[in-house]
Chains A and B, each alone.
Chain A
Amino acid sequence: MALKKLSKEKVGEALAELSKFRLIAPAKSDDVVVFKQISDPAEAYLEYGNSTVPPKKFAFPQTETLFRFVTGSPDLTAKNVEEEGTTVIFGLRPCDARAMAIVDKLFSWDFDDPYYLKRRELTTLVGMACVEPPSVNCFCTSLGGSPFGTEGLDLLLTDMGDYYLVEALTDKGEKLEETLSSQLEDAPADDEKKAKDMAAASEGKIRRSINTEGIPEKLPDLWENGLWKKVSAACLGCGICTFLCPTCHCFDIQDEVEESGEGRRCRMWDSCMFEEYTVHASGHNPRPTRKERTRNRINHKYSYYPAHFDVIACVGCGRCINLCPVNIDILEILDQVVDA
């Protein structure tokens, strides 16, 4: 496929063109970078490292209505995801796109989740390669990703200084290129090689790593190991590491009913680090302490998920390390798993 370029002066124009879809882009809320729906191209903030909250919420919303009802009436109105329309997520990082590709496997496993899959079908992912790794705690290369990775993406942009190099990766990506045909130009011939060199340079700057070989097989044997007590001692039991993880996908389903009798059934993010996540109606909790919950988090990512789907449910974005209030470091835990 021929590479294209998008000059930085035309980014605003391109975003304006894309805002005929539901356009999601990184933007600033005070000093925090968040992905949100934008209507004005000036809102987009593309010179960012990575967003605090991953863009997964636009495939798997934190709160999603499944259907509406009126108490006493047998009629239900299911939510029609198509009403949301075509969505373009512009400028997400390759790790977050790869995470969506990983989570897709879960939502199309033994049951095809109509809400999630429909939304994914309607979404085009426009990635932004990491010319510099966004944080010291990035370790995507240890998990088969790359700062220039393309898995899950439809289109990849690379910042070449004055312009973005545009590479279409899928049919959806090509379609989007067509939409932007008046903003795109042909890229210089040597850019493909230049981008490859940049990718290698960026990969070389990733400083943290873990050799994951053997970890999925080893974890079940460490069930009763003393390391879990140690690594979880400082854990507060908050939801930062899971809510901000691009691959975490646990949810709870609750009904919300108004006084009028109108109600909705919705699903919302849940976290295995919360105490009430596993509490039974009897009051019994099979994961009574933070030790069991931490063990579950690591096992789910590095053992159960690969057992079902042949891929580790971690993309090495480093958010859980960067944002943990008590510096619980997944790489340190994995090192201890390897050494145990």
Chain B
Amino acid sequence: MAENKDFEPNIVAFLCNWCSYAGADLAGTSRITYPSNVRVIRVMCSGRVNPLFVMNALQQGADGVLISGCHPGDCHYMHGNYYARRRFNLMRNFLEYLGVEPERVRMSWVSASEGAKWKEVIEEVSEGIKKVGPMDQFKRRQLNW
């Protein structure tokens, strides 16, 4: 897909309450600037994120989705992030198989102390999506409305 210089992607990020959300918060309180394309949805655990959430976000207008949780071994609920890891590895591969660029569905581990990493992650995700352009494979279209 052609690159569009003015394109600002919509990114939906599902962040776990205990690590990644706190990490993003730390980035904020530390006055770290990062791309403002991201819309954060706080969930209790990355294991809470249903693959349907990802699909639905892409349908409703997100150009990309990020799921972020605690580093392996640090999950507040012991194993939630391990389940999420399996789930989204498969989901990502599958969407790629259908022709949805892998840049659109990303996953990261960001701990509560990693405000700087959060910035890097968002920059990378945002750059990646800018490169592949707006999501228009199966966004709900307004054509027949």
Contact = CB atoms under 8 A, between A and B. Distances in A.
Interface residues of B, number: 4
A65 B60 contact: no
A262 B145 CA distance: 10
A226 B71 CA distance: 62
Contacts of A162: none
Q: Is the interface of A mostly helix, strand, loop or mixed?
A: strand
Interface string B118-145: 0000000000000000000000100011
Nearest to B140: A258
Interface residues of A, number: 7
A259 interface: yes
A164 to B, nearest CB: 33
Interface string A240-264: 0000000000000000001100101
A262 B60 CA distance: 13
B60 A259 contact: yes
A76 to B, nearest CB: 13
A63 B140 CA distance: 14
Pick the most buried of A68, A258, A259, A262: most chain B CB atoms within 10 A of its CB. A258
A79 to B, nearest CB: 9
Contacts of B144: 63, 65
A65 B144 CA distance: 8
Contacts of A264: 145
A270 to B, nearest CB: 19
Pick the most buried of B60, B140, B144, B145: most chain A CB atoms within 10 A of its CB. B145
Contacts of A262: 145
Interface string A181-198: 000000000000000000
A258 B140 CA distance: 10
A61 to B, nearest CB: 9
B145 A68 contact: yes
B99 to A, nearest CB: 17
B143 to A, nearest CB: 11
A267 to B, nearest CB: 13
A288 to B, nearest CB: 29
A65 B140 CA distance: 15
Contacts of B145: 65, 68, 262, 264
Nearest to B60: A259
A151 B144 CA distance: 32
A68 B142 CA distance: 12
A256 to B, nearest CB: 9
Interface string B96-128: 000000000000000000000000000000000
Contacts of A259: 60
Contacts of A63: 144
Interface in B12-42: none
Interface of A: 63, 65, 68, 258-259, 262, 264
Given A65-B145, A259-B60, 7 more contacts: A63-B144, A65-B144, A68-B145, A258-B60, A258-B140, A262-B145, A264-B145
Interface of B: 60, 140, 144-145
Question: What 5 pairs between A and B have smallest CB-CB spacing?
Answer: A264-B145, A68-B145, A65-B145, A65-B144, A259-B60
9 contacts: A63-B144, A65-B144, A65-B145, A68-B145, A258-B60, A258-B140, A259-B60, A262-B145, A264-B145
